[in-house]
């Protein structure tokens, strides 16, 4: 039965409506075979129980549900430690509906800090790479900030090249947005290198440009991986003023919850802290949303306390090892070339490039010559026929000669680890059959 797009004039049996909805839901892709999504789709029995108990508790009702507020503040303190707050810092943080809201808030705070110091009526600008999530461009569009986009490519390692900041930064730049684990290829921008360039620029020009780190995925990966001992990316860098992450991705929390931390409350101008008092007591918080369930916050807190540092390290290591294995296997067939770098680390030696558990791949140059008519989009469609959803998209002008790169992406989540192995075998079989057809 097709969903009805009008309100019926009479009530219906709950069982009849329930059956109708379930018959529609069962036709969806099974979540563990939705290999393109970053959102956690497997939760333990205790988490499901806690979600059911707290689903009806509104985060905005702070005095009525003080436990939710306490859990939230505990999560913020844990993240501040994971992201290496400094002794001089007094972090201020928020739970958001996701990283998209967090990025809007981080951008608005940066803009208003700039406005308080600026002279004249010049339009502010913000700098980010073409590898940034679309929500950064949304911030610029929605809040009338000029976007200055730095192109990334295979030549820059699919990350923002600090040298390309030259000529783009000026006194009207509110900040630079960098990405820790991009949606497109999984790479991490060289945050410490960008900070060093901005340090040098400040000495030469006086421009003091802050950095926001969009760690939607990487914020819950790098603290628990061998890459944690690599270059700094967090509050160890003085120029990093704010960081966001998605708890419902590699934080394993129920959907949806995002986290946003500033290293100091003074980085959020007071004119953004609006007070409301129509609930019991009064509250002042910087958000774009108001009423939302506290269930995801409770789930996040449970995961922190249940898994601890040891558990998160174990889980993240397993996901990265799976990405290593799958990426290596795909490349070994000769059919594929991986853009993501999870498969490049040295197993057991701690030499691991910063990245997240994704496998992003395209056809190898050798295979393209063997089967010039082969299409990644067709491969993705055939995988969907097998019940696997693998997104296909185009990285425009990211090639070494400015050409587009078509890719497929598989995200390694806890409940997709086995499915990804099955899917990779299906991928190889589909492509192998393409070679046979091309040779006939």
pLDDT (tens digit per residue) in 241-272 = 999 999 999 999 999 999 999 999 999 999 88
pLDDT higher than threshold 50 for residue 438:
yes
Q: CA quadruple 30, 32, 34, 37: dihedral positive or negative?
A: positive
Q: What DSSP state is assigned to residue 188?
A: B
Q: Is 372 exposed, middle or buried (0-12, 13-18, 19+ CB in 10 A)?
A: exposed
CA–CA separation, 393 vs 187, rounded Å? Answer: 16
CATH numbers and ranges of domains, the chain:
49-302 (3.40.640.10), 315-439 (3.90.1150.160)
Residue 221's pLDDT band, with cuts at 50, 70 and 90, is very high
Q: Lowest-pLDDT range, 138-142, 331-335, 350-354?
A: 350-354
Report yes or no: 40 and 248 within 8 Å, Cβ to Cβ: yes
Confidence of residue 120 (pLDDT cuts 50, 70, 90): confident
Mean pLDDT of 152-158: 97
User: Alpha-carbon torsion 259, 261, 265, 268, what sign?
Assistant: negative
* Confidence band of 89 (pLDDT split at 50, 70, 90): very high
Q: Report pLDDT for 358.
A: 98
For residue 55, what pLDDT is reported? 95
Beta bridge partners, 285, equal 274
The partner residues of 96 in beta bridges, in order of sequence, read 258
Cis peptide before 256 (omega within 30 of 0): yes
Give the per-residue pLDDT at 280. Answer: 62
Mean pLDDT of the region 6-32: 95
pTM: 0.95
pLDDT of residue 190: 98
Mean pLDDT of 112-131: 93
How high is the pLDDT of residue 437? 55
Q: How far apart are CA 77 and CA 79, in angstroms?
A: 5
Q: Mean pLDDT, the chain, as a whole number?
A: 94
Q: What CA–CA distance (Å, rounded) separates 47 from 260? A: 23
Q: Which run of H or of E encompasses 213?
A: strand 211-214
Report phi then psi at 276, rounded to 5: -130, 145
Report residue 439's pLDDT band, with 50, 70 and 90 as the boundaries: low
Phi/psi at 186 (5° precision): 85, 0
Cβ atoms of 234 and 243 within 8 Å: the answer is yes
Please state, in angstroms and as integers, the Cα–Cα distance from residue 190 to each residue in 178, 226, 228, 231, 307, following that order. 8, 16, 14, 8, 29
Mean pLDDT for 319-346 is 91
Is the pLDDT score of 342 beyond 70?
yes
């Amino acid at each position: 039965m097709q969903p009805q797009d009008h309100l019926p004039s009479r009530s219906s049996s709950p069982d009849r409506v329930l059956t109708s909805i379930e018959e529609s839901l069962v036709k969806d892709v099974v979540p563990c075979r939705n290999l393109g999504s970053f959102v956690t789709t497997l939760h333990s029995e205790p988490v499901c129980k806690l979600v059911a108990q707290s689903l009806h508790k509104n985060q905005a009702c702070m005095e009525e549900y003080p436990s939710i507020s306490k859990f939230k503040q505990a999560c913020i303190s844990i993240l501040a430690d994971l992201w290496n707050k400094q002794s001089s810092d007094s972090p201020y943080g928020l739970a958001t509906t996701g990283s998209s809201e967090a990025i809007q808030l981080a951008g608005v705070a940066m803009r208003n800090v700039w406005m308080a110091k600026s002279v004249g009526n010049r339009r502010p600008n913000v700098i980010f790479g073409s590898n940034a999530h679309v929500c950064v461009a949304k911030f610029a569009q929605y809040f009338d900030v000029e976007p200055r986009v730095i192109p990334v490519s295979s030549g820059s390692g699919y990350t923002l090249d600090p040298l390309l900041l030259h000529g783009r930064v000026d006194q009207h730049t509110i900040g630079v947005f960098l990405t820790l684990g991009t949606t497109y290829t999984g790479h991490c921008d060289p945050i410490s290198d960008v900070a060093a360039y901005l340090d040098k620029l400040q000495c030469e020009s006086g421009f003091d440009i802050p950095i926001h780190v969009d760690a939607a995925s990487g914020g819950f990966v790098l603290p628990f991986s061998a890459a944690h001992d690599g270059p700094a990316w967090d509050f160890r860098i003085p120029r990093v003023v704010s960081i966001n992450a998605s708890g419902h991705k590699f934080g394993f929390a129920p959907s949806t919850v995002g986290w946003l931390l500033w290293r100091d409350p003074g980085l959020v101008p007071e004119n953004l802290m609006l007070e409301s008092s129509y609930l019991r007591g009064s509250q002042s918080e910087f958000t774009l949303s108001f009423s939302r369930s506290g269930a995801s916050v409770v789930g996040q807190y449970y995961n922190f306390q249940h898994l601890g540092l040891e558990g998160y390290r174990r889980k993240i290591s397993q996901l990265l090892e799976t990405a290593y294995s799958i990426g290596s296997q795909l490349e070994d067939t000769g059919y594929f070339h991986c853009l993501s770098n999870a498969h490049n680390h040295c197993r057991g030696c701690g030499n691991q490039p910063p990245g997240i558990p994704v496998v992003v791949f395209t056809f190898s140059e050798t295979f393209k010559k063997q089967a010039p008519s082969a299409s990644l989009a067709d491969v993705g469609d055939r995988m969907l026929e097998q019940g696997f959803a693998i997104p296909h998209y185009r990285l425009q002008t990211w090639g070494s000669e400015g050409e587009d790169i078509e890719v497929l992406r598989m995200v390694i989540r806890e409940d997709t680890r086995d499915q990804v192995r099955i899917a990779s075998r299906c991928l190889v079989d589909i492509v192998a059959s393409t070679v046979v057809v091309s040779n006939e």
